[in-house]
Structure 1
Amino acid sequence: MSIFDHRKALADIPHRPGVYQYWDAEDTLIYIGKAKDLRNRVGSYFNQDNQMNGKTRVLVSRIRRISFTIVDTEIDAWLLENSLIKKHQPRYNIMLKDDKTYPWIIIKKEAFPRVFWTRKMIKDGSTYFGPYASVGMMHTILELIKETYPLRTCNLPLSPENIAAGKFKVCLEYQIGNCKGPCQAHQSLPDYEDSISEIKDILNGKIGNVIREVKQIIKTAVEDLNFELAHLYQKKLQVLEKYQSKSTVVNSSITNVDVVSIASDERYAFVNYLKIMNGSIIQTQTIEIKKKLDESDEELLSIAITEFRTKFNSTSREIIVPFELNLTDENLKFTVPKLGEKKNLLDLSHKNVLFFKKEKLNQYEKLNPDLRTDRILAQMQKDLMLTQLPVHIECFDNSNFQGQYPVSAIVVFKDAKPSKKDYRHFNVKTVEGPNDFATMEEAVYRRYKRMLDEGDPLPQLIIIDGGKGQLSSAVSSLKKLGIHNQVTIIGIAKRLEELYYPGDSYPLHLDKKSETLKVIQQLRDEAHRFGITFHRKKRDQGTLKTELEAIPGIGKTTADKLLRQFKSVKRIKLATEAELAAVLNKSQVQTLLKYFSNPAT
């Protein structure tokens, strides 16, 4: 394999904005990128100090040739990059996933234009509006148009010559008032085109302009005592105002603005787009992006904005975004709102993208449950600031009754799910009286001393059910074993769900809806349940032994034998003489039978 001399290639690359392309040993295009400064950006890939991820290192190792295209501005580079990625679809560029064919509303290029919806865009001079991600919204608009403007629906060739020759007759649509009959010259072309002009305004979100014109017609008609025309347009006004009230989401002064927001995780990003005209959302869509090289949200948002503006033919000069973008263009303004109507729009877009992300990830996780596990573990690693994925987690909890029958329980989660075969109980051996701290110290020491002796792998995370005191006791045991720097250990306080780290005075508070907190709570609750169950069993056995030992002639050893055989005092009472004789001698059998037949004596 030939060695690529990146220094020689860099020497030919200028400090100018543009697009760079990476080619492999087979001269296949494998990556396309944009840059404000081509040499600096390409050089950063070969910087030894660059903390790049594994996929990027693989990409760099395959580069054998670099080509580039210089452009005038960074925005030009932005547009060219998007165009080239769509054309060549290089292996290491992100995938914009949008497998749906969205519908458009078309105003057909013909005499007396028809208005209808289609999924195919044909370059025949017709005017297209959309695409509409919400089919319901599209049909609502078409219903508004049908209810307000009588238009033809036939596909007759209504040329002036054909109409003049009387080649056509009006149909049922004319009879019921859905069409004004242009086929027989009952409606003139200028009158028809006035309706088409108003429809274009509605589809462009300029419904306010149409309403003002309709109001003026009503006013003039009333002044001219043409009440029939005024009534006709009053009905049209009601329909238009009803539609406007449903579609207006912000102040109508906000016009011709694009809004974008993003939500991402380790594998995917989701970007929502809203097109605002006169305070109304006239177009919206959310796309999914599959990451390839751990791209930043800024990079992904920039690519998505180009995709949306191209697809929706946007001419907006203002784009509302959730954070600053490293893009400069005198013809574009990027706004990061903090308050007001524009912030409300950004919040609305963000709600949409979060909902879309949740729905998509749920679909993927139903098909592949391992995806959910990976996502939760990655989120826990991030939330708890861990150095590795918490694939193996152990949680400790103590139980005692007024200092008696102290026990400690440990539950184990692997891949964020209970591993019940690994649960363990500890009968406390070295602690006298109610000392929760010493009990925790003994349990933690015994657990990991045994794991070290048997060569078992340590967990990535240890959780202590308790506050600072129990946590300090557990850390003390880990230090005695010399493993306190090998695992992460945290404590969870019972009352406020506070998480404590060793040596940190201030607790960590996770969002109450956080999946990380839910997993920790599940661990804590499971450890408590498991510990309490064992503690009650031990306490009950202790109480039963005390009762049996109080019977004259039955000592501690005999009481142990009886409980092992019959499990409870009730079963001992119901046992036959033969069953008792299998455990006890003849004298002990008679003693028990006499006691249970008359326990008061």
Structure 2
Amino acid sequence: MNIEKFKKIAGNIPEDPGVYKFLDKENKILYIGKAKNLNKRVSSYFLDSKMHSARIKLLIKKTVDIDIVVVETEQDALLLENSLIKTLQPKFNIQLKDDKTYPYICIKKERFPRIFLTRNKINDGSIYLGPYSSVNRVKSLLQLIRQLFPIRTCNYNLSEENIKNKKFKVCLEYHIENCLGPCEGLQNETDYNLGIQNALTILKGEINPVLNKLDEEMKEYAVNYEFEKAEKNRLRIEKLKSYQAKSTIVSPKIDNLDVFSFVMHEKNMFIHYMQVKKGSIVSNKTIELKQSLEEDKQELLNFAVNYILSEKKNPTKEIIVPLAVKTIDENIKITIPKIGDKKNLLELAYKNALFAKNERILRKNNLKIGKVRDLEKLEKIKKDLLMTKIPYKMECIDISTFQGKQTVGSVVVFENGKPCKSEYRKFTIKSFEGSNDFKGIYEVVKRRYSRLVEEDKELPQLLIIDGGKGQLRFALDALTEIGITEKIHLISIAKKLEEIYFPGDQYPLHIDKKSETLKIIQQLRNEAHRFAITFHREKRNKVTLNNELESIKGIGPSTTIKLIKHYKSVKKMRQASIEELASLIGLDKAKTIYSFLNNSKDPVQS
């Protein structure tokens, strides 16, 4: 939709709160948004279009119609927007990347209900508790419940008719006293459901009522001289108190609240959610959102909070967040804590969000989950060098020459902060003769990255040039000719003061000499220097050896090439016997070469 067409309908858009929908030519919804003032919000897409990102411009281009829904209040607009986005999932709205199926604890709707772990929520009337971020936590909870209450684990259909007809027999669980045998009618439904109710109370985080009840029963058993039953209750109380001590992370007075915190990574936000009851975390999960239309942190967090709250059956009284948000329920108290237990909860949620972000990045780049330290180093490099991307792949280029002869170049590659020697490359300079570091850098950069582009291979996020502003300028010229200056972050490092130069910046950057960033840059530079010198020495040795051999009477170019190809170095040639040399070049020549190598000093240090 162009601005002329929009101006024709702009007057019909009210200045009331509501929801707007952008539709394409097939009448499909592209984007859903809410506004306190519909006219102002919708107009901002068309009247300030020069300032928009490419994605918003694409949305405007695809839009052919705008649908408006007016509501009474801004809160109503928030509720309607949340509901529509969740149902319709428009292409240009915030993308929820919650591809992880979290575990739940299910209390099955059936006679003599079972309690078990599941990842599939079914609308069959069963009770689902969670989601939980850790399967181990769910298993430990289920183990505790089964230690406290005799709950069946079989999947029999315990209908009245089946029990009456004695269709089932008790199993091992009955004989080891983990189950009281409802399958044979040895436990009535009322007694069984009492255990289920206690288990549900614990799973909801309300441990004290169950403790009080068990304590009352224990005292009653003792009064009636049922000491065995009293002892069982005492052990249950101990286990429950032990679990309560381990699971309580803040004051038990903090009850029925939700905690949300987040970290950003490029265009993604990782939000960690925790449900807290009586000072214990009873449920938690992490979701990932991706920016769609330049949403800020507040908008992304707002979406995540309302998405999670809309999934909950039991409303919360309070939410703890790092930024102000608007919720779908006006009765929910919103707290941004500065100190105390609630601040500690917020920091704990942040740590979990940070872990989720690091875990996702490590998986994406094939790093082991334990290598968080390596990832932190790469993020530090990104920050110190003002990069937009984490440098998972870094390359460094150096030029080596001796008195203007046999000029060579080297490229060394680091992946995830470690040398990747199989990717190292050597270059013999072909475009000129003599000593010229600038032209050498230009040639290596152009040959290296032209080939990567042609073969559609991965480009490095960071390219380091060994040298100062001159070498950097020639490297930039080569990248500009290839057309990839926007894809590679280019810097150079000058040896004397270890100064970092950026294209177009007159003044160098001085990084702390003890920083990890400088250490890794130096490691790359030193490795490129070593690799270039080694290659240069090999070439120089070959030329020197070639000249020496050709100076021997009776030894021509073809014999020299044979020997160099076979033995590679003077050292290996000298170690060869006359017989070995003869098998390659004939006996007469072998004797001549053998005599020369063993009676004259080797002019080349191998």
Q: With structure 2 as the length reference, what TM-score do the two structures score?
A: 0.69
- Give the number of equivalent residue pairs: 554
Equivalent residue number for residue 56 of structure 2? 56
Partner of 2:531: 530
- Residue 604 (structure 2) aligns with: none
Q: Secondary structure of 1:503's match?
A: coil
Instruction: Tell me by how many angstroms 1:582 deviates.
Output: 11
Deviations 1:81-135 (A, max 9, x none): 221122223232344355648544226487x7665566454465x5443345545
Q: 1:269 & 1:108 partners in 2: Cα distance?
A: 37
8 Å Cα contact 2:464-2:492 kept in structure 1 = yes
What is the letter of the counterpart of residue 10 of structure 1?
A: A
Letter in 1 for 2:282: I
Query: CA 1:495–1:80 in structure 2 vs 1: closer, same or farther (change >3 Å)?
Result: farther
| C-alpha deviation, 1:531, in angstroms | 0.4
User: After the TM superposition, which of the residue ranges 534-543 and 409-418 deviates more from structure 2?
Assistant: 409-418
Amino acid at match of 1:239: K
Q: How does 1:162-311 map to 2 (within 5 A)?
A: 172=170, 177=177, 178-179=179-180, 189=190, 195-215=195-215, 217-218=217-218, 227-262=227-262, 265=265, 269-289=269-289, 292-293=292-293, 295-311=295-311
Asked if structure 2 preserves the Cα contact closer than 8 Å seen for 1:20 and 1:33, the reply is yes
2: distance between equivalents of 1:243 and 1:593? 83
Deviation at 1:333, TM superposition (A): 0.8
* Structure 2 equivalent of residue 22 of structure 1: 22
Aligned to 2:348: 345
Amino acid at match of 1:235: L
Determine which of 463, 474, 484 is the counterpart of 2:471: 474
What residue is the counterpart of 1:586 in the other structure? none
Inter-CA distance 547–250: structure 2 relative to 1 (3 Å threshold): farther
What TM-score comes out, normalization by structure 1 length? 0.69
- In 2 relative to 1, CA 69–582 (structure 1 residues): closer, same or farther, beyond 3 Å? farther
Residue 359 of structure 1 and its aligned partner are, at CA, apart by: 6.3
Cα distance in 1 for partners of 2:138, 2:391 equals: 47
* Separation of aligned partners in 2, 1:360 and 1:593: 58
Query: In the alignment, is residue 335 of structure 1 matched against residue 336 of structure 2?
Result: yes
Specify every segment of 5 or more residues in structure 2 that has no aligned partner in the other structure, as ranges: 369-377, 602-606
In the alignment, what sits opposite 2:313? 313
Separation in 2 of the partners of 1:133 and 1:281?
Answer: 11
Largest Rg, 1 or 2: 1
1:357 lines up with 2:360 in the alignment? yes
CA distance in 1 between counterparts of 2:410 and 2:274 reads 51
Cα distance change on mapping 1:255 and 1:4 into 2, 3 Å: farther
Sort the Cα spacing of 1:274 and 1:561 in 2 relative to 1 into closer, same or farther, 3 A. Answer: same
Does the aligned pair in 2 maintain the 1:548–1:554 contact within 8 Å?
yes
Single out whichever of 114-123 and 44-53 deviates more from structure 2.
114-123
Q: 1:176-218, CA deviations, whole angstroms, 9 ceiling, x for partnerless residues?
A: 65238799797694x6665444323212111244334434554
1:456-495 counterparts in 2 under 5 A?
A: 463-465=464-466, 470-475=467-472, 489-492=490-493
Structure 1 243/85 Cα, relative in aligned 2: closer, same or farther at 3 Å? same
Structure 1 residues 220 and 342 mapped into 2: Cα distance closer, same or farther (>3 Å)? same
Residues 256/358 of structure 1: CA separation in 2 closer, same or farther (3 Å cut): farther
Secondary structure in 1 matching 2:47: coil
Distance 1:410 1:169, change over 3 A: closer
The one of 413, 421, 427 equivalent to 1:423 is 427
| 1:4-43 equivalences in 2 (<5 Å) | 5-43=5-43
Q: Is the 8 A contact 2:271 2:301 kept in 1?
A: yes
* Residue type at the aligned position of 1:423: F
Letter in 1 for 2:206: K
SS of equivalent to 2:39 = helix
Kept in 2, the 8 Å contact 1:406–1:428? The answer is no
Matching residue's letter, 1:106: I
Q: Provide the C-alpha distance between the structure 2 equivalents of 1:74 and 1:490, rounded to a whole number of angstroms.
A: 49
1:500 CA drift (Å): 3.9
Change (3 A) 1:480 1:237: closer
Find the aligned partners of 2:248 and 2:390 in 1 and give their Cα distance: 46
Distance 1:531 1:152, change over 3 A: closer
Structure 1 distance, partners of 2:65, 2:362, is 41
Q: In 2, Cα distance between the equivalents of 1:598 and 1:42? A: 92
Partner Cα separation in structure 2 for residue 148 and residue 297 of structure 1: 45
Q: Quick check: 1:180–1:186 contact (8 Å CA) kept in 2?
A: yes
Q: SS of the residue aligned with 2:51?
A: coil
Structure 1 residues 194 and 476: alpha-carbon distance in aligned structure 2, compared to 1, 3 A threshold: closer
1:35–1:460: structure 2 CA closer, same or farther, 3 Å change rule? Answer: same
Deviation at 1:42, TM superposition (A): 1.8
- Measured after TM superposition, the shift of residue 169 of structure 1 is 11
Within the candidate set 481, 502, 506, 1:503 is matched to 506
Percent pairwise identity: 33
- Checking the alignment, whether the CA contact within 8 Å between 2:270 and 2:353 is kept in structure 1 is no
Q: Is the 8 A contact 1:204 1:277 kept in 2?
A: yes
Any idea what the Cα deviations from partners look like across 1:425-474, whole Å, max 9, x if unmatched?
Answer: 4899666xxxxxxx6456447768999xxxx9999975222xxxx31342
Do the aligned residues in 1 keep the contact of 2:265 with 2:357 (CA within 8 Å)? no
* Alignment match, 1:141: 141
Distance 1:489 1:360 in 2: 27
Aligned-partner Cα distance in 2 for 1:268–1:476: 34
Report if aligned partners of 2:17, 2:72 keep a CA contact under 8 Å in 1: yes
The RMSD of aligned alpha carbons is: 5.8
Deviation at 1:13, TM superposition (A): 3.3
Q: Which residue matches 1:372?
A: none
More displaced 10-residue stretch of structure 1: 260-269 or 37-46: 260-269
Structure 1 unmatched runs, 5+: 367-376, 432-438, 584-588
Residue 242 of structure 1, CA deviation: 3.6
